[in-house]
Chains A and B, each alone.
Chain A
Amino acid sequence: MQKFILKQKTRIAFISFISIILAFFNHYVIQTTLVSEVLLIFASIIGVIPIALQAYQALRVKVISIDVLVTIAVIGALIIKNYEESAIVTFLFLFGSFLEQRTLNKTRKAIKELTQMAPVSALKKVGQDYLEVEIEEVEEHDILLVKTGAKIPVDGVVIEGFGHVNEASITGESLPVKKSIGLKVFAGTIVENGTLYIEAEKVGEDTTFGKIIELVEEAQDSKSVAEKFIDRFSKYYTPLVLLLAVLVYLIWTDLELAITILVLGCPGALVIGVPVSNVAGIGNGAKNGILLKGSEVISDFSQLDVMVFDKTGTLTTGTPAVNHVKAYTKDISLTLGYLKAIEKESDHPLAKAIVDYIKDDKNYLVTQTEVVKGGGIIAQIDEKKVLIGNLKLMNQMNISIKNDVIEDIKQLESSGHSIVITAIDHDIKLLIGIKDQIRPNLKQDLQRIKKLGVKELVLLSGDNQGTVDLVALELGLTKAYGNMLPEDKQAYIKKLQSEGKRVAFVGDGVNDSPSLALANIGIAMGNGTDVAIETSNVVLMNSNFSKIPHALGLTKKIVSNMKQNIIIAVGVVLVLLASVLFSQWMNMSIGMLVHELSILVVIINGMRLLKYKLKKRRK
């Protein structure tokens, strides 16, 4: 019965609205006061039923809620025969909570969409058949079948089949990834074509996707110090308002004033304002591949002083690539063909870069190879002796090097390249400069970060000072230190913090996890891997550096949005209470209207965060 009534709240609000309209029509047009009074009483009574029910439930568990205040006020208004007020107040309260529900759902939408991406069912092997079961029934080591278009239900490994999987929900990368036997697959990713048989390794909350969802869910309800204060405040606030109203009644025996205070004192917007900003802001982040771990993180990140970066894999892509090719022969394609044939057999990072760079493969037969440690490779192709390696190898093998080649080598080295020389039959043919590539658009991103108020951008790297200085110059960093071990980086961050600065550290989640943990804000560039999710305060779903300025701008907006909401809420209550004491026009209905409007204003204000986008810099 109770549930039924509460479910009908919207309908009741509608009926009460109609009654009120009819009552006013009767009163002013037909001028039958009796009918209009009856209608208003009817509207008040059906309107107050659901409110009173909630009030009763609250009192049973010793909570003086807004419902309690409103119920008393409405009963009071009925006693002093102010039927107009009682009807309008109940209607506004019901209608307000209907609107709140609607708008709140909007602010929560972004996060809800994320959680609804979680798989709900799976095709599980039972005996010889695959049966559809609920996701909760899947355990580790179960064998599952995933068909085209279906969601992979668990983290696991492919044991049979082949297909392309869209892993955007985990890595943010929208290009499908090939999956075949032995490769790992992740819960929440989608098989675009093919059929996969997988063995479950992790299920439910233990999967990477499960962890992401849990993280976001916890974050949207996490509370900062300020919020905890407001919570405690509002716990005592409502009883205080009740007490005040009782005192006013006892001292001045003015029931009308007392019940007006009850309505005006409702704290609605105050309690709801901050969580609304929080959920909308975190929702915006989640939509953009940025997971913010809660309110404290948002507040710390928004007041950042220094951002410290690791180099390899953070400012650079972490995969070296061919940046410069200089030929000393006419037959470049033959040399490149030889080079590719030999380097294909090596797993050295520089060799990989070269293989990636040379597109066509002529499949020359390599008859003999010898690896010279710290030098390079000596190989035999077509009865020719091919040397691939550094200057040291060339000197060792007594290759004569012309002055212009020496000049070229020096120049490439001074600009931070690793050098690979190719010589065929004692003649130098090719010079290749390989460099770890700076991430695209990094300079603009760093400038945006500076513009958002971060005073220092510092590079700490294990590389030599020369290379580090070069990067710092190119990117316009404030400071750059080379030859840093992980513990040196930690010490540096500690020093900054002891100077009272708020520090963010951006690095990979593996080597630098102590620094990530130590910094006020840790940001791991780790493609949504477990480590990155666990060690970071801000998780970037696809190691996309350009999300950092967005995240920074967003946190600043969230913090100011929360402040606006607190000011609106407190302001409204103060203005209402002041006007009831010092003005004539204030009454219950206006109070309730203003009060409900203020709640809607803070929700709509919070909703703006869902649309936040970092402004593009003008060229």
Chain B
Amino acid sequence: MKKVTIQLETLTCPSCLQKINNAVKNLEGINKDSVEVLFNASKVKLNYDESKIGVETIEDAITKLGYEVKKSVIKDR
């Protein structure tokens, strides 16, 4: 398991949270309970299984929604 913190462009619409939340949770290899979308900090935090999914796939899912990913920081858990 690894933990990633993804910094997004500034989030301004509250429904973004729900969209990003759903989009990320539907991916394979994500610990669903760990997903946190922070509105004010404009960050996504989650734990994932690195043998099943790469950070790029997670970033892609968010970018496809129309939100720019600025930076991802990965940490071992």
Contact = CB atoms under 8 A, between A and B. Distances in A.
B1 interface: no
A111 B15 contact: no
Given A57-B19, A63-B22, A235-B18, A100 B40 contact: no
B34 interface: no
Interface string B32-55: 000010111101000000000000
B59 interface: no
Secondary structure class of chain A's binding surface, majority of residues: helix
A62 B66 contact: no
A108 B12 CA distance: 11
B22 A220 contact: no
Contacts of A275: 14, 39-40
A39 interface: no
Interface in B58-73: 63-66, 68, 73
Contact of A63 (B12, B19, B64): B19
Contacts of B10: 101, 104-105, 108
Given A6-B66, A54-B66, A100-B13, A221 B41 contact: yes
A111 B64 CA distance: 29
A255 B77 CA distance: 54
Contacts of B65: 57, 61
Interface residues of A, number: 34
A268 B12 CA distance: 11
A136 B13 CA distance: 31
A170 interface: no
A353 interface: no
A48 to B, nearest CB: 15
Contact of B13 (A3, A97, A111, A217): A97
Contacts of A108: 10, 40
A104 B19 CA distance: 20
A67 interface: yes
Interface in A37-79: 53-54, 57-58, 60-63, 65-67
Contact of A104 (B12, B63, B68): B12
A3 B15 CA distance: 18
Identify which of B26, B36, B41 gathers the most chain A CB atoms within 10 Å of its CB. Answer: B41
Given A57-B64, A100-B12, A100-B13, A63 B40 contact: no
Interface of B: 10, 12-15, 18-19, 22-23, 26, 36, 38-41, 43, 63-66, 68, 73
